[in-house]
Amino acid sequence: MINVLFSALPARWDVYGPALNEAFTEAELNVALSTDHPPETVDYIIFAPNGPVSDFTPYTGCKAVLGLWAGVETVVGNPTLTQPLARMVDVGLRDSMVEWVAGHVLRHHLGMDAHIVNPDRIWNPQAAPLARERRIGILGLGELGTACGNALAALNFDVAGWSRRPKTIAGIECFDGNAGLDAMLGRSDMIVLLLPQTAETENLLNADRLARLPRGAVVINPGRGPLIDDEALLAALDDGQVGHATLDVFRIEPLPPEHPYWDHPRVTVTPHIASTTRPDTSARVIAENIRRSEAGEALLHLVDRRAGY
């Protein structure tokens, strides 16, 4: 019997419990799934940062911690975590991010706002340029950034992306390194931030880098709030250097009611909804990782603790 502890928001148990048990049965794993196994008996922890476990010390027999979230910034530096940590890579998480990013890119590309709210009944028959004339830059070419880049390229957008290590992706012009970032920013009418939050990426989008964007560029951030220097972004919005910012993630969530982003006429706030782990598909990812671990195979989606993602 494999003892698996579910440590996420208690409210998620009702949907995750059945989905996980079904996935374990499908994978022919003999699992006892619970929210309260005695720590020393636990073989695997299914983990969300907002669940009850934050000290991994008592889980002396735990073979791996299997995250339900894509972002690991709140757990990767936990000194009590000595077990391997896998993060969530899930088709549902990926597809919802692609849909959110494509929707917000198309909103700005087509200038939809002018027609959705038009109290003065202005008849302005100016058509949008074609997608191939619109340059999109994606910061982060991982699971989500690459999927979004591919989807936007399939819509004919002129897509570039930036990553830590050099990459070659058909249909996406790939940049890396500091010089690559500057070059990519300079050619991006819209940028989409899909980087993890690490020591290296915090405040990455600062005043200097915002100034490198073409004037009036759009910033779309479904990555993490601390990727952006908020003061610098507000200044760039006020000055017109940034035409609009669509922000899904913030340093403090929920975004405090007094935060200037709420009132800014050129900011759209969405409440961290770009993408979420889906119980049915993510349960299969968890089951596959337990199957692998039990069979002595390498875990999928292992976090590089030194890189922080």
Q: Is there a catalytic annotation at residue 272?
A: yes
Q: What are phi and psi of 17, to 5 degrees?
A: -55, -60
Q: Measured between alpha carbons, how far is 13 from 9 in angstroms, rounded to an integer?
A: 7
Please choose, out of 18-26, 57-65, 108-116, 162-170, the segment that lies near ligand NAP by the rule CB under 6 A: 162-170
- Hey, what are 112's tokens? 């939809």
**Interface with ligand NAP by CB under 6 A: which range of 46-54, 191-199, 258-266, 283-291?**
191-199
Residue 172 interacting with ligand NAP (CB under 6 A): no
Stretch that binds ligand NAP, among 14-22, 218-226, 233-241, 283-291 (CB under 6 A): 218-226
How many contiguous H segments (helices) and E segments (strands) does the chain have?
9, 12
- Taking the least distance from each CB to ligand NAP, the nearer of 34 and 270 is 270
Considering only 213, 249, 283, 285, the residue that binds ligand NAP (CB under 6 A) is: 249
Task: Report the nearest approach of ligand NAP to the CB of residue 245 (Å).
Answer: 14
The answer to whether residue 70 forms part of the interface with ligand NAP (CB under 6 A) is yes
d(CA 172, CA 68): 29
Q: What are phi and psi of 236, to 5 degrees?
A: -70, -35
Residue whose CB is less far from ligand NAP, 39 or 71: 71
Site string for ligand NAP, 74-103 (x = CB under 6 A): -------------------x---x------
- Stretch touching ligand NAP by CB under 6 A, among 54-62, 126-134, 149-157, 197-205: 197-205
Question: Is 201 among the residues that bind ligand NAP (CB under 6 A)?
Answer: yes
Backbone angle region of 171, left / alpha / beta, with phi > 0 → left and psi within -120 to 50 → alpha? left
| 253, 267 Cβ separation under 8 angstroms | no
Coil, strand or helix at 159 = strand
Q: In the window 100-159, what residues touch ligand NAP (CB under 6 A)?
A: 140-145
What span, in angstroms and rounded, lies between the C-alpha atoms of 123 and 114? 10
User: In angstroms, how far is the first alpha carbon of the chain from the final one?
Assistant: 31
Of residues 22 and 99, the one with the C-beta less far from ligand NAP: 99
Say if residues 26 and 288 touch (Cβ distance below 8 Å): no
Q: What DSSP letter does each residue of 40-99 carry, written as one string?
A: GG-SEEEE-TTSS----TT-TT--EEEESSS--TTTTT-TT--S-EE----HHHHHHHHH
| Options 224, 244, 278, 284, the catalytic residue | 224
Give CA–CA dist 7/39, Å, rounded.
12
Of 108 and 224, nearer to ligand NAP (C-beta) is 224
Residues in the interface with ligand NAP (CB under 6 A) total 30
Q: What's the min distance (Å) between Cβ of 220 and ligand NAP?
A: 11
Which of 12, 259, 272, 291 is an active site residue?
272
Smallest gap from residue 226 Cβ to ligand NAP (A):
10
- Smallest distance, ligand NAP to C-beta of residue 72, A: 7
- Within 141-274, residue ranges assigned H as helices are 143-154, 177-186, 207-212, 230-239, 260-263
Is residue 301 annotated as part of the catalytic site, yes or no?
no
Residue of 17, 18, 39, 71 interacting with ligand NAP (CB under 6 A): 71
Residues that bind ligand NAP (CB under 6 A): 70-71, 93, 97, 140-145, 162-165, 194-198, 200-201, 222-224, 248-249, 272, 274-275, 309
Which residues are annotated as catalytic? 224, 272
